[in-house]
Structure 1
Amino acid sequence: MNHQEKTPKKTLVRELIALHLISNLGARRIRMLIQAAGHPQDIFRMNRRELQSIHGIGPKTAEQIVSFDGWSEVDRILQKTERIGAVLMTLWDEDYPPLLREIYDSPLLLWIKGNRRALQTDSVAIVGTRKAGRYGRDAARLFARELSKRGLTITSGLAYGIDGAAHRATVAAGGCTVGVLGSGIDIIYPAAHKKLAADIIDTGGAIISEFPVGTDPDAGNFPVRNRIVSGLSLGTLVVASGIAGGSMITAKLALDQNREVFVVPHPIGTPNAIGCNNLIQRGMGKLVQDVEDILEEIEVHISKRDSEGREEEPGEDLDDTPRWRSLELDELSADICKTLQGNPLHIDDLAERLGVEPHKLLPTLLELELQECVRQMSGKNFELGF
């Protein structure tokens, strides 16, 4: 892949960071903006009236976009990202975590320190209260150790209590673990877990965040990051929890994402019993007593995925094969690529051949450009990528 082919992604990253700096915009509304504008760059060229015509964009947000002048801050974030040894992943990258891509509001950007490939592994989330008692901490260690020995990655939030116990047990067992932050990748919270974060990275795991570098660990960030904890995972194990709090939020998010929820039962009247026992009582999670109770559920998903992979035709030497043929594209995307097989086309000519209005082609062309299936040339001309 040459430098020219990489340029659209670099441009996209800069625009996405800028959009992340606009308060209360969020991944879902940024996606809607990209779909309406056709390309992230074009969002900042729209006027207030055009922006407010997009569902979910009010006068205040439109004004923030039109008046955005934080490009020097964007460049500072990119420079600091490189300086601290972090990398950026976008939703359109080929190695974006497949399970995370499936959720309703997948993060568009992820900052990563450590092993990027850790996000491609089969994972179970282990979550629970920061104020865990001995029973909860012992259970977290047990399940983390045994699951990691079975080759599963342990995902959690690097917090005190259950999170920390699960991460440490995985590291000690020589397993892979991923910590998801509610702050910028450069701000480990709590600070007492800086060494734990370093140990996670040193043993082949990763620390990730969707928040730009320099973002403080504000309370509102943690419920947002919890969807990533559950979204990365085949299932979420709630080890200890009160009736409210982050663990209960993560369990509900996992259910919304059509993922498994597992729950450690607690003796009646003990601390942190109410939340776990309530999930079991309401049928919102499977009571687990040992690691086999989890494995028998998630192995069904792993076997199904592996079986689907084996059903695909054996790969051939794709060096001379157009990239788009190796991807599962929707009908319009495939039609675009087929039409571009001969010669480059202006977007108006492409739209005429496909019988689709030009502005409706732009979002799909952007997706194909980011997947390196097509390239945009000067003057709104497009050619097939290889």
Structure 2
Amino acid sequence: MDKPKISERDWLYVLAMTPGLGRRTIRKIGETAGSFQNAVDHWLMIGEELGLSVELVQQIDRKTNAAAVMPLLAKREASPIRFLCILDEDYPSLLRQIPDPPLTLFYRGDRKLLAQVAIGVVGSRKPTPYGRASCAYLVKELAQAGLVIVSGLAYGIDGEAHQAALAAGGKTIAVMGCGLNHVYPPRHRALYEKIESFGLLLSEYPPDTPPVPGLFPERNRIISGLGLGVVVVEAAEKSGSLITADCALEQGREVFAVPGPIFSLMSEGPHNLLKQGAKLVTRTSDILEELPLVYAGATDTAIADRKNSSSTTLSAEESVIVEAITYEGVHVDELVQQLEPHQRKNVHQLLIQLEAKGVLAALPGGYFARR
């Protein structure tokens, strides 16, 4: 059957939706044939020249005839999942510059975020209360400075980064290691839906692609590639988060590391990065001063002004609570035990007030930490 005459971006979409074809093979097809239209017009010859299996050649031949292509394109247009590709003018310019840019991007949410200045934030899947508090503190101020926060929707620091950005009224992009028809991890469904409404969900994989372990390291190059740098908040010595840091270095991006307690296994990753020359981060200005001059005004002074604009005057009761809580985090039960009997009466109410004032951060599991 004759091949239909459609646009190059549509042919790229058709090939990307063909099972068994990865981006490297698709790239070779385009380079060998000169165009995707030419490739499908002379497919049997191109497939043989590339040494593809007979089964794959036959499958692509079936997928690229008019009877299969036109319904596939119609289904794409009716889907809530939208499509962007490297052939489009508004493909993210920073992503276009990385060594292995994704050929296709599927998304749900606010596509305009791809054109805004962004920074990646990654870390341990099992962070300590200190790690969660550090992430929430830094992300809040980065988001308030106007940066889009990019992470991977995973448990731990990824989820904390997305949540902190949204809570601060900022924007966030979740780069997924599966198709957008899958919510992974499943317990992040509410976060997935919130990001779709107020941020952007992004994947290079077709919508029905299941979460396969090998895809997650691949997506890390997109997390780093979309931003000007990557912040690593807690990671074990052989953490997947360090793959993102390696990608950032390969792409010429900045790498920032948050130091932690020397006795914590979760500090080994950031500390090793610091030994290798990563920028040490103890406050938001350590990150902002390395970014373009457009953010030169978002220094400690600007951040301090924002803090001072909110109510930070503490009552005597609140001050007692704050003094008993560390930056690493304290469980509410432990906090109660530290207080005198007459100070325990309104603990929960005081904790809520201090969180509202931005003095404390509420962490999962009943922990609170200073900001």
The answer to whether the 8 A contact 1:18-1:74 is kept is no
Residue 250 in structure 1 maps to residue 244 in structure 2: yes
Report SS of the residue matched to 2:201.
strand
Partners of 1:286 and 1:253 in 2: CA distance: 16
Q: Is 1:65 equivalent to 2:57 in the alignment? A: yes
Q: Given the alignment, which residue of 251, 265, 272 partners 2:266?
A: 272
CA distance in 1, matches of 2:68, 2:237: 41
Shift of 1:17: 3.3
**TM-superposed deviation, 1:64:** 1.3
Q: Is the 8 A contact 1:107 1:210 kept in 2?
A: yes
CA change 1:84–1:45 in 2 (3 A) is: closer
Report deviation, 1:268: 1.0
Corresponding residue of 2:38: 42
Residue matched to 1:143: 138
Whole-angstrom distance in 1 between the partners of 2:73 and 2:239: 34
Offset at residue 131 of structure 1 (A): 1.0
- The 5 A counterparts of 1:185-200 are 185-200=180-195
Corresponding residue for residue 177 of structure 2: 182
Distance in 2 (alpha carbons) for counterparts of 1:79 and 1:216: 23
Mark the runs of 5 or more structure 2 residues left unpaired by the alignment: 297-371
Instruction: Measure, in 1, the Cα distance between the counterparts of 2:223 and 2:184.
Output: 16
In structure 1, C-alpha distance between the alignment counterparts of 2:255 and 2:69, rounded to whole Å: 38
Matched, 1:209 2:215: no
1:249-328 matched pairs, under 5 angstroms: 249-283=243-277, 285-300=278-293
Mapped partners of 1:156, 1:117: distance in 2: 17
**In 2, are the aligned partners of 1:111 and 1:208 still within 8 Å (CA)?**
yes
In structure 2, C-alpha distance between the alignment counterparts of 1:137 and 1:76, rounded to whole Å? 46
Residues 20-78 of structure 1: CA distance to partner in whole angstroms, max 9, x if unpaired?
5342x43233223212212213223445664454xxx4443x75134423457766765
Q: 1:79 to 1:8 in 2, by over 3 A?
A: closer
TM-score of the pair, normalised by structure 1: 0.69
The answer for the alignment partner of 2:155 in structure 1 is: 160
- Which residue does the alignment assign to 1:13? 10
What one-letter code is carried by the residue in structure 1 that aligns with 2:284?
V
Please say if residues 9 and 87 of structure 2, whose CA atoms lie closer than 8 Å, have aligned partners that are also in contact: no
Maintained 8 Å contact 2:16/2:23? no
Match of 1:4 in 2: none
Provide the aligned C-alpha RMSD in A: 2.4
Check 1:12–1:237 CA distance in 2 against 1; reply closer, same or farther (3 A cut): same
Aligned to 2:123: 128
Question: Post-superposition shift, 1:158?
Answer: 0.6
Query: Which structure's CA Rg is the greater one?
Result: 2
Indicate if the aligned counterparts of 2:16 and 2:104 stay in contact, CA closer than 8 A.
no
Q: How many residues align?
A: 289
* Aligned amino acid, residue 169 of structure 2: G
TM-score normalised over the length of structure 2:
0.72
C-alpha distance in 1 between matches for 2:135 and 2:150: 12
State the partner residue of 1:115. 110
Question: Aligned letter for 1:21?
Answer: T
Q: Distance in 2 between matches of 1:223 and 1:139?
A: 24
Identity rate, percent: 40
Equivalent AA in structure 1 for residue 82 of structure 2: V
1:99 equivalent to 2:94? Answer: yes
How big is the shift at 1:94?
1.6
User: Is the 1:144–1:170 contact (alpha carbons within 8 Å) kept by the matching residues of 2?
Assistant: yes
Given the superposition, is the C-alpha separation of residues 278 and 75 from structure 1 closer, same or farther in structure 2, using an over 3 Å criterion?
A: farther
- CA–CA separation in structure 2 for the residues paired with 1:41 and 1:22: 19
